[in-house]
C-alpha cells in the first residue's frame, strides 16, 4: 500500500490539529493526574495503546511521531494527550458517518463479507430497524450453500416480521436474487436486503459468483444494487485491509458495517481504512440481539478505541 502518498490528506491535517494545546475534554477532568513531560515513555504508552487496538504498526508510529513533533517535552498528562488524539482522530472519521437513504423503491442492499463476519445477523437487525422506521422491507436468503443458513435468516425474518425469499439448498443464488427483486418490485417494497454467503476475498471462483449475483440485479435497474455493504468483524486484524480491497475491486463496495464491537475489540484498523478507501461506515454491531445496532458516531468510536469510554454500557 502506498501509505505515504494517499495519507497526505488527513495526516497533515492531523499534524496541524495536534498543535492545539488545550482541549475541552481534558480540562479539569484530568488535572488529578500529575502532569509530566511528554517524553518517550509516554509516547510509547500511547503507541502501545494504538497498537493494541489494531491501528497497525505504520499508522500508530506515524500518529505518535506527529504527537512527538508537536508536543514533545511540554507538560501534559497521558489523558490530555489521549484526548487531543481523540479529537483529531474523530475529525478524521467524522466524514465517514453516513446513514442510508432510500430514494429508489425498492432500494436493493447487498450484504457481503468473509465467513462468519455477521452478515445474516446484521440483515435481521437492519430489517427490524427499517421496518420500525416505517419502511416496507423484504429479505433474500442468498446463502444457498452453508448448512442451515436459510433457516437462520428465516428466524430473523420472523423476528423482524418481514417476508423472506428463499430457494432450495445449493440452488443458484443469482436466479433467486433476480426473481426476488422482481417480486419486490411488484410488491412495491421500499427495501430489499440480500444476505449473501460468506466467502474469503481470496477465492476467485466465489468472488466471480458474487459478481454474477450482483450483476443480475442490474438487468432490472441499472442503479441496482443501490448499496453494497461489506460486513467486517471488529476482531480481525490487518487482514481487514485486504478484505476491503478485494471486495471493493470485485463488487464495488460502497459502505461498511463493523460488528462485534460489544467485545473488547476496538477495530482501530478503520483509521487505516479511512485513509486508504474513504468508505462510509453505516452501522456498528454491538451484540447478538435484534436491537444491538448503532449508527456510526466517530466520537464514540474513538473514545472506545482509546479506552476513554466504552461503546456499550454494560
Partner 1 sequence: MFSALSQKLTSILDKLKNRGSLTEDDVKGAMREVRIALLEADVALPVVRDFIAKATEKAIGQDVLKSITPGQMVVKIVHDTLVDVLGEAQELKLTHIPTVILMAGLQGSGKTTFSGKLAMYLQKRFSNKKILMESLDVYRPAAREQLKILAGQVGVTYAGYDSDKPVQIAEQALSKAKKEGYDVLILDTAGRLQIDDVLMQELEVVVKKTSPHEVLFVADSLIGQEAYTVAETFKQRIPLTGVVLTRVDGDGRGGAALSIRSVTGCPIRFLSVGEKLHELELFDPNRIADRILGMGDIVGLVERVTETLDQEESEALAKRMQKGLFDLNDFEKQLSNMLKMGGFGGIMNMLPGMSKLKDKIDETKIDEKVIHRQIAVIRSMTQKERKSPKLLNASRKRRIALGSGVEVQDVNRLLKQHQDMETIMKRMKKLGMSGLMKAGLKGLFNMK
Ligand X SMILES: Nc1nc2c(ncn2[C@@H]2O[C@H](COP(=O)(O)OP(=O)(O)OP(=O)(O)O)[C@@H](O)[C@H]2O)c(=O)[nH]1
Choose among ligand X, partner 1, Mg ion, none what residue 156 binds, the Cβ cut-off being 5 to 8 Å by kind: partner 1
d(CA 132, CA 38): 50
CA 99 vs CA 2, 95, 126, 178, 301: distances in Å? 29, 11, 12, 26, 16
Choose among Mg ion, ligand X, partner 1, none what residue 238 binds, the Cβ cut-off being 5 to 8 Å by kind: partner 1
Please choose, out of 4-12, 15-23, 50-58, 132-140, the segment that lies near partner 1 by the rule CB under 8 A: 50-58
Could you give the string, one character per residue 270-309, with x where binding to partner 1 holds by CB under 8 A and - elsewhere?
A: ------------------x---------------------
Which of 12, 22, 115, 307 touches ligand X (CB under 6 A)?
115
CB of 51 to partner 1, least distance (A): 5
Please choose, out of 207-215, 219-227, 237-245, 284-292, the segment that lies near ligand X by the rule CB under 6 A: 284-292
Regarding 260 and contact with ligand X (CB under 6 A), the answer is yes
Number of Cβ within a 10 Å radius of residue 220:
16
Residue keyed to cell 518517550: 40
Regarding 152 and contact with partner 1 (CB under 8 A), the answer is yes
The total number of residues written for the chain in this structure? 314
Are 246 and 114 in contact by the 8 Å Cβ rule? The answer is no
Cis peptide before 250 (omega within 30 of 0): no
In the bound state with partner 1, the residue whose beta carbon lies nearer, of 18 and 64, is 64
How many alpha carbons lie under 13 Å from residue 165 in its C-beta half-sphere?
25
Regarding 106 and contact with ligand X (CB under 6 A), the answer is no
Which of 74, 99, 171, 202 touches partner 1 (CB under 8 A)?
202
Return the C-alpha cell found at 141: 436468503
Please choose, out of 7-15, 44-52, 90-98, 116-124, the segment that lies near ligand X by the rule CB under 6 A: 116-124
The site for Mg ion, by CB under 5 A, has a size of 2
The CA-to-CA distance between both ends of the chain, in Å, stands at 38
Choose among ligand X, Mg ion, partner 1, none what residue 136 binds, the Cβ cut-off being 5 to 8 Å by kind: none
Regarding 144 and contact with Mg ion (CB under 5 A), the answer is no
Could you give the string, one character per residue 118-147, with x where binding to ligand X holds by CB under 6 A and - elsewhere?
A: xxxx---------------------x--x-
Residue burial 3-32, b: 16+ Cβ < 10 Å; e: rest: eeeebeebbeebbebbeeeebebbeeebee
Choose among Mg ion, partner 1, ligand X, none what residue 235 binds, the Cβ cut-off being 5 to 8 Å by kind: partner 1
- Phi then psi for 14, rounded to 5 degrees? -65, -45
Handedness of CA 277, 283, 287, 289 (dihedral sign): negative
Regarding 249 and contact with partner 1 (CB under 8 A), the answer is no
* CA-wise closest residue to 37 among 81, 86, 87: 81
Q: What residues from 64 to 123 belong to the interface with Mg ion (CB under 5 A)?
A: 119-120
- Phi then psi for 144, rounded to 5 degrees? -95, 5
Are 181 and 127 in contact by the 8 Å Cβ rule? The answer is no
Choose among partner 1, Mg ion, ligand X, none what residue 53 binds, the Cβ cut-off being 5 to 8 Å by kind: partner 1
d(CA 220, CA 218): 5
User: Which residues bind to partner 1, rule: CB under 8 A?
Assistant: 48, 51-54, 56-58, 114-118, 124, 145-149, 151-156, 198, 200-203, 233, 235-239, 242, 260, 262-265, 269, 288, 314
User: Which residues bind to ligand X, rule: CB under 6 A?
Assistant: 113, 115-121, 143, 146, 149, 197-198, 200, 259-260, 262-263, 285-288, 292
Amino acid at each position: 500500500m502506498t501509505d505515504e502518498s494517499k495519507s497526505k490528506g488527513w495526516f497533515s491535517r492531523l499534524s496541524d490539529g495536534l498543535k492545539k494545546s488545550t482541549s475541552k475534554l481534558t480540562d479539569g477532568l484530568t488535572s488529578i493526574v500529575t502532569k509530566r513531560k511528554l517524553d518517550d515513555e509516554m509516547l510509547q504508552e500511547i503507541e502501545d495503546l494504538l497498537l493494541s487496538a489494531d491501528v497497525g504498526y505504520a499508522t500508530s508510529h506515524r500518529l505518535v511521531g506527529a504527537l512527538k513533533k508537536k508536543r514533545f517535552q511540554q507538560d501534559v498528562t497521558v489523558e490530555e494527550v489521549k484526548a487531543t488524539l481523540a479529537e483529531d482522530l474523530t475529525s478524521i472519521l467524522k466524514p465517514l458517518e453516513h446513514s442510508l437513504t432510500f430514494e429508489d423503491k425498492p432500494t436493493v442492499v447487498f450484504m457481503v463479507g468473509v465467513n462468519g463476519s455477521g452478515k445474516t445477523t446484521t440483515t435481521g437487525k437492519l430489517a427490524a430497524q427499517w421496518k420500525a422506521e416505517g419502511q416496507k422491507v423484504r429479505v433474500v436468503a442468498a446463502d444457498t450453500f452453508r448448512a442451515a443458513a436459510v433457516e437462520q435468516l428465516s428466524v430473523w425474518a420472523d423476528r423482524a416480521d418481514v417476508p423472506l425469499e428463499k430457494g432450495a439448498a445449493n440452488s443458484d443464488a443469482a436466479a433467486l436474487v433476480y426473481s426476488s427483486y422482481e417480486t419486490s418490485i411488484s410488491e412495491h417494497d421500499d427495501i430489499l436486503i440480500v444476505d449473501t454467503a460468506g466467502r474469503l476475498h481470496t477465492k476467485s471462483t466465489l468472488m466471480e459468483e458474487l459478481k454474477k449475483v450482483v450483476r443480475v440485479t442490474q438487468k432490472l435497474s441499472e442503479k441496482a444494487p443501490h448499496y453494497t455493504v461489506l460486513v467486517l468483524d471488529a476482531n480481525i486484524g490487518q487482514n481487514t485491509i485486504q478484505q476491503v480491497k478485494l471486495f471493493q475491486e470485485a463488487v464495488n463496495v460502497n459502505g461498511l458495517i463493523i460488528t462485534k464491537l460489544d467485545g473488547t475489540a476496538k477495530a482501530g484498523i478503520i483509521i487505516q481504512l479511512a485513509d486508504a478507501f474513504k468508505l462510509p461506515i453505516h452501522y456498528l454491531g454491538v451484540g447478538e440481539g435484534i436491537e444491538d445496532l448503532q449508527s456510526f458516531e466517530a466520537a464514540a468510536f474513538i473514545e472506545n478505541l482509546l479506552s476513554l469510554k466504552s461503546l456499550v454500557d454494560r
